Structure 1
């Protein structure tokens, strides 16, 4: 599990508790903290499994979501985990859904926890946020051809071999653009993407990290990806038998 944090002391303890309640004793979690001053790092360090199954990467400054995932993926790939999972630290993603995302890797290379497939939902959003999210995903599909209902979703599981193949470490996007670019690269390389329904809940504690710069970056980059193409995969790859541990993210 890769869990980026910035000022998430109100929720990170609960996230870890629920994660380990949902998974078995092979699950490990990396918290990538961007210099939180609210004690987020202290909570992680004080966890009973700190140093064995709970790990902390302290980066000292707010470097961005995409950067946090690149560093987290590099950490996980260096340790040869079979799969790596992205998840928010504010409880907007239900840790109980992790086993379903990982089980989906039996038939796919990337599994997205989707708000916009049958059974998926959002809770606690105003009408403006709902319209923005729906428009953003429609915009991605129309401009790039990516056949994914929720390309901006940040709750997802990758096969580690897929991350290596698409060059996840070379992605320079931040914010939601990072999620979109990861999905586009996966699809254009011919890898299979599956979506499983999840319920997304607006955070109850702390401050949202959404801002206008994230939206502008996404609009600009999606146009560039649409221009460069292609609108169909270069090749279609078979889904290899899943030999990894579905409960070892």
Structure 2
């Protein structure tokens, strides 16, 4: 199987106030993988991101835009975008940040890895992966959070919170998107865990993650607390299920 055999590839890029970044990101994706289509999902950005996205789409048939009326969280934007991509007939649905932290030039390696996987994650924390311009505290928080996920959920992934991914259509269908309730960054962990529980193949590809240079980060303490609460709840529920199974109930 070759990359060309993967079929129609649609990369979902959610945006909120990314007018400084989106044009460059789109140009880099188009330069790195010409056959990949782009679906920009804008959450009603007041800074003009949506209007700029429409201009980019008007100039390039490989670029599409889906406008959402309100900002409801990263997970909600991705769920909406995934549904649109599935309705477009995509065989592979990707996701990537709009702020330049994910480098489109690494897409070809991820697409190649998808030949033998159902979900490919661009990972910061496998051998060969790295982050640029992160303070020590944030590195420790990310590594610690991912360790917590592995221990509590039994998820064999080093970077379950990563947002640079490629899913086969079948993987998203197996994840039962209609039942996903996560709205923030914990959405990434939720989807990876669902794919794992479905018995599908997950492969991590090392990437270099570069902290944004323009615009404001959407990460906050509230986002981190939501992730901790949800992962803890899921983990305790999973452990309870395992105990019942062992007890023969």
**Same fold by TM (over 0.5)?**
yes
CA contact (8 A) 2:57 2:64 kept: no
Q: Identify which of 74, 79, 93 aligns with 1:70.
A: 79
CA contact (8 A) 2:182 2:190 kept: yes
1:117-136 to structure 2, matched below 5 A, reads 117-136=126-145
1:38-83 Cα offsets, whole Å, 9 max, x none, are: 1111221112655721111111221110000000110111122110
- Measure how far apart 1:168 and its partner are: 2.2
- Measure how far apart 1:228 and its partner are: 2.3
1:129-162 Cα offsets, whole Å, 9 max, x none, are: 1111111101101111111000000001000111
Change (3 A) 1:169 1:98: farther
Q: Identify which of 220, 223, 234 aligns with 2:232.
A: 223
Structure-1 residue corresponding to 2:19: 9
Q: Which moved more, 1:191-200 or 1:52-61?
A: 52-61
Q: Distance in 2 between matches of 1:13 and 1:118?
A: 31
- The answer to whether the aligner puts 1:22 opposite 2:32 as a matched pair is yes
CA contact (8 A) 2:72 2:183 kept: no
User: By percentage of residues, which structure has more helix?
Assistant: 2
What SS does structure 2 have at the residue aligned with 1:47? helix
Q: Distance in 1 between matches of 2:18 and 2:178?
A: 25
Q: Identify which of 95, 109, 115 aligns with 1:86.
A: 95
CA contact (8 A) 1:119 1:197 kept: yes
Structure-1 residue corresponding to 2:202: 193
What is the number of equivalent residue pairs in this alignment?
A: 232
Structure-2 residue corresponding to 1:168: 177
Change (3 A) 1:171 1:51: farther
- Measure how far apart 1:195 and its partner are: 0.1
Q: Whose relative contact order is higher, 1 or 2, with alpha carbons under 8 Å and at least 6 apart?
A: 1
- The answer to whether the aligner puts 1:106 opposite 2:89 as a matched pair is no
Q: Distance in 1 between matches of 2:127 and 2:16?
A: 32
CA contact (8 A) 2:57 2:65 kept: no
Q: Identify which of 102, 106, 111 aligns with 1:97.
A: 106
Q: TM-score, normalised by structure 1?
A: 0.89
Structure-1 residue corresponding to 2:7: none
Q: Distance in 2 between matches of 1:78 and 1:58?
A: 16
- The answer to whether the aligner puts 1:37 opposite 2:46 as a matched pair is yes
- Measure how far apart 1:174 and its partner are: 2.0
What SS does structure 2 have at the residue aligned with 1:15? helix
CA contact (8 A) 2:42 2:66 kept: yes
Which portions of structure 1, spanning 4 or more consecutive aligned residues, are displaced by more than 4 angstroms? 48-51
Unaligned runs of 5+ in 1: 234-249
Structure-2 residue corresponding to 1:241: none
Structure-2 residue corresponding to 1:211: 220
Q: Distance in 1 between matches of 2:59 and 2:141?
A: 38
CA contact (8 A) 1:188 1:230 kept: no
Q: CA RMSD in A?
A: 1.8
Q: TM-score, normalised by structure 2?
A: 0.89
Unaligned runs of 5+ in 2: 1-10, 243-249
